[in-house]
Structure 1
Amino acid sequence: GWVLLFMVVFTLANLAAVKNFGEFEFWFAALKVGAIVLFLALGALAIAGWLPDTDPVGLANLTGQGGFLPNGWSGVVSGVLAVVFAFGGLEVVTIAAAESEDPARNVARAVRSAVWRILLFYVGSMLVIVTLLPWTSMVPGESPYVAVLDAIGVPGAGQIMNVVVFVALLSALNANLYGSSRMVFSLAERGEAPKGLLKVSAGGVPRRAVLASVAFGFVSVLLNLKWPDSVFLYMLNAVGAVLLFVWALIAVSQLRLRPRIEREAPETLTLRMWGFPWLTWTALAAMGAVLVLMLTDDGARPQVLWSAGATAAVLLVAWLRELRAARGTRSSATKRN
């Protein structure tokens, strides 16, 4: 019931005005960033032994208990497979920036900001956790953030983190509603979706695209109500592999389309990625390596195979459409001649 309520609320917010997306994300981000900054600050004080009833930790937990990588790289591999889905939606940053007043400048700023935030918030918080707690104290299924806060004596740590996680989920929902609707709108612009989806409101909101993008969201809510023990787990397990395929298709699209734009309309290419094409190929190689690792994992293998099948089906449909369009062009040229 609550999931359906939030779906309705965020759908109405995205239908009303583009600024609502930014307004919600501002407050969500403020709470999330505030929580993680506070966590990093408390962690740093605890490491230095400057909190009440704490002693300096130093590097004991990093060098002791078997040292770095006590069980080899297998733990790192498992961690990579588990956290891939957490970076989903990062590409929405550039989509939102592209609708700003100065896209070329704001897209570059958004990407640089995202990279620094990942290094500070993701990597930084993990460094605090492994420095404060020995790896042998980690309990599967329990939040390491809560474990750290409990260890340094923060009251109500579990409830605090539950609120932060809840806000993060709402933020992800809001971002995905926005991003998917813009993707649908973009497909309609290129003739790969019904032209009726191009209609926008007086405030610039593609309302039909928003409704089309949230339709499956409402269907999934109903499916989850009927099969709560299976639908959610299946969707969650599929996210990681699907994201890798989506990112790989984005990279392949760049490799194919950027040279064409440079030949046909170089003046429109106002924002250029540095390190092209070698950095793009490096990213593709890294994503391929993660997919290979997922194939070697019994738990991750099914989602890779299902996602590969879905990706192949999408590529097949796209190829058939392109083939039909090419035949139509040749047919028209033959009739003119």
Structure 2
Amino acid sequence: MNMAQNAQLQKQLKTRHVTMITIGGVIGAGIFVGSGAVIHSTGPAAVISYLIAGILAMFVARMLGELATANPHASSFSEHVRLALGNWGGFTVGWLYWYFWVIAVAAEAVGAAGILHYWFPSIPVWAMSLGLLILMTLTNIFSVKSFGEVEFWFASIKVTAIILFLILGMAYILGVWPDKMLSFENLTTHGGFAPHGIASIFQGIVPVMFAVIGTEIVTITAAESVNPKEAIAKAIKSVIWRIMLFYVGSIFIIVCVLPWNHAGIIGSPYVSVINFLGIPGADQIMNFVVLTALLSCLNSGLYISSRMLFGLANKGDAPRMFVSLNRNGAPVKAILFGTVFGYLAIIAAYYSPELVFKFLINSSGTVVLFVYLLVAIAQLRMRARLEKEQSELQVRMWAYPYLTYFTILSILAILVLMATNSEMVSQLIMSLVSLVIVLIMYGIRRSRYSEVKPTISNEVLEKNRELDL
């Protein structure tokens, strides 16, 4: 097969895969573990922090849904930004997002190995980290269908666990639990709803934003979906209830059942709640769920990073060898290139955890906010253009352009909050270093670009018409 033939991803993801991948995409390990730190530093008002961050993530997902359903054949959402802002936008978003996920892959492998070490203490953590990365790499290399099937079941476990948690928690709060009466007293006792002040609510938004990353995954699966426009539209329209139920709902349960300053909150709030309710084997159950969440993020990270690199290579922003596919339609070289960085980061986690690995984590932490900012600006510029070129948009951003402007200003405000927070400013600075490096890379690459402004080609429009039919 020649390169041109190889550059066509196969459509093997069914609507059920895309839907469950999207639902599970918002349930990362961060919600099971990281939420404790937010509750501890914010109090019961952490519910508001999660609500605001969830709304912002929902707006970004809606914008991407609008762009993706208008151009569903694109290999990654960096192409939507390229159409709106030019080559620099597509280049910057693609490489920043790729960088975020290849580092996230290593972090998830290390975290998952730590849980397995609890059950198998005789096996070194570094060996299990590498083993998990190899296992998920093989899943992705085999075919996109195998990735979709594995992710479907990972997501199903996470969703089931959260739903059961919500049911048990609501039963306790509403007084359906044995020897328990209706009570919401933990929301206002122990120092009040916001014991650390109103400012803590807005500072809590910053770490929560990183926890809700994943709502945009559905737009990346479009190029390999059997019915991309239908799958994307369905998944994007369900983002509201997913964020409200899984994030805001579960945090509300935690702060109602336990005092915000409970000793177990900071470590693992979900385990603490289940223990408090007297559920046998709570530690083992939640360890298994968190392990599933970590493996799911690891699996998705390999998929996302490889498709981003594939899209970049298709536009000449990465070596052309990364567009080659195997017989099952998987971009093997793009997957393996991402795992190389994963292996190096895992090695750094054990040989230089406080220098190299810490720098990698911090330098990638904020880049998603830069990506979201560029996506919002791209949607702002593309809306009028899309309405002229297409008769009807299947997904529309609400209250355009006002909510788009609100999202842009909110992301900028979060970056300002990080700059004024002594614990987060180093992460912002290191992530800005990553942004500068990518922009320098673009400057080197720029001389090879055509001066023709990117447009939605007639071929693209024809494909979209066929999908509409």
Coarse TM-score class (shorter-chain normalised) = 0.7 to 0.9
2:168 pairs with one of 17, 31, 42: 42
TM-score by structure 2 length? 0.64
> CA distance change for structure 1 residues 249 and 214 in 2, over 3 Å: closer, same or farther?
farther
1:116 pairs with one of 238, 241, 251: 241
> CA distance change for structure 1 residues 200 and 273 in 2, over 3 Å: closer, same or farther?
farther
2:324 corresponds to which letter in structure 1?
K
The offset of 1:156, in angstroms, is 2.4
Determine the C-alpha separation between the residues in 1 that align with 2:225 and 2:376: 23
> CA distance change for structure 1 residues 293 and 307 in 2, over 3 Å: closer, same or farther?
same
2:237 corresponds to which letter in structure 1?
R
> CA distance change for structure 1 residues 174 and 245 in 2, over 3 Å: closer, same or farther?
same
Conservation of the 8 A alpha-carbon contact between 2:158 and 2:292: yes
TM-score by structure 1 length? 0.87
Per-residue CA distance 1:165-194 (angstroms, 9 max, x = gap): 111011001111001111111111112112
1:312 pairs with one of 429, 436, 447: 436
Q: Which has the higher contact order (CA 8 A, sep 6+)?
A: 2
2:154 corresponds to which letter in structure 1?
F
Determine the C-alpha separation between the residues in 1 that align with 2:396 and 2:375: 15
Determine the C-alpha separation between the residues in 2 that align with 1:316 and 1:255: 26
How large is the Cα RMSD of the aligned pairs? 2.6
2:207 corresponds to which letter in structure 1?
A
Determine the C-alpha separation between the residues in 1 that align with 2:447 and 2:394: 31
Match in the other structure for 2:315: 190
> CA distance change for structure 1 residues 277 and 324 in 2, over 3 Å: closer, same or farther?
farther
Determine the C-alpha separation between the residues in 2 that align with 1:309 and 1:104: 37
1:284 partnered with 2:408? yes
1:74 partnered with 2:199? yes
Looking at CA atoms only, which structure, 1 or 2, has the larger radius of gyration? 1
The offset of 1:68, in angstroms, is 2.1
Map residues 5-44 of structure 1 onto 2, 5 A cutoff: 5-44=131-170
Map residues 1-337 of structure 1 onto 2, 5 A cutoff: 1-52=127-178, 54-139=179-264, 141-257=266-382, 265-266=389-390, 272-322=396-446, 325=449
Per-residue CA distance 1:24-51 (angstroms, 9 max, x = gap): 1111111111111111111011112222
Per-residue CA distance 1:42-91 (angstroms, 9 max, x = gap): 10111122223x42242211233343223322332342222222122332
1:59 corresponds to which letter in structure 2?
F
1:160 corresponds to which letter in structure 2?
I
Query: SS at the partner of 1:325?
Result: coil
Determine the C-alpha separation between the residues in 2 that align with 1:302 and 1:211: 31
Percent identity (aligned): 43
Determine the C-alpha separation between the residues in 2 that align with 1:6 and 1:268: 45
Determine the C-alpha separation between the residues in 2 that align with 1:139 and 1:328: 58
Conservation of the 8 A alpha-carbon contact between 2:302 and 2:338: yes
> CA distance change for structure 1 residues 35 and 140 in 2, over 3 Å: closer, same or farther?
closer
2:428 corresponds to which letter in structure 1?
V
Return 5+ residue gaps in structure 1 as ranges: 330-337
The offset of 1:16, in angstroms, is 0.7
Greater displacement, 153-162 / 315-324: 315-324
